[in-house]
Amino acid sequence: MGCKVCAVNTVSTDGSCLKNPGGAIGWAWVNHDGSSASGGARSGTNQIAELTALYEAIVAHPGVEPLVIESDSQYAIKCASLWLPAWKRKGWVTASGSPVKNLALIQAIDRAISERQGPVTFVWVRGHTGNHHNEIADSLAGKAAREAAGVRA
């Protein structure tokens, strides 16, 4: 009999911004089991789109199974894993004392990670190099951004 809590969910995420900053954005996640979701907003930045993709992937995958999130955004991965604990400890300011950018979204990611029973790990993958799930996430995020902008795909 298999170990149900040992299964790992691996999810690829991506974000898109049509005219950075201020253009329509799209985000997407693609579970390696085939499920996916995407969405968009009329304005934002590429960083907001990438962070939103991480957040949406985390909240869409509750449970005790380990969750591995792949992203081609070093910024998003560093925000969610490397920098977040220090920012939180220092009262949400950077090492230079500046306020953390995209704070509400980063705090939402922090809450989502804390509320999830299973561990979350972030892995950087090189974008646009043929990584199947990353390419699907990229396509879905771009489509969502175009739809948010009112552009017919």
Catalytic position from the list 14, 56, 70, 110? 14
Residue 128 is a catalytic residue: yes
- In single-letter form, the type of residue at position 72 comes to D
Q: Is 110 a catalytic residue?
A: no
Among residues 98, 97, 45, which one has the least CA distance to residue 76? 45
- Catalytic residue (choose from 23, 72, 110, 133): 72
Among 56, 70, 110, 138, the active-site one is: 138
Q: How far is it, in rounded angstroms, from Cα 107 to Cα 129?
A: 31
Instruction: Name the active-site residue from 23, 39, 40, 50.
Output: 50
Exactly one of 15, 26, 39, 142 is catalytic; name it: 15
Cβ atoms of residues 74 and 85 within 8 Å:
no
Helix (H) or strand (E) holding 36: strand 36-41
Which residue, 149, 150, 148, 136, is CA-closest to 14?
136
Task: Clarify whether 138 is annotated catalytic.
Answer: yes
Question: Which position among 34, 128, 130, 150 bears the catalytic label?
Answer: 128
Verify whether residue 135 is a known catalytic residue: no
Which are the catalytic amino acids?
Answer: 14-15, 50, 72, 128, 138
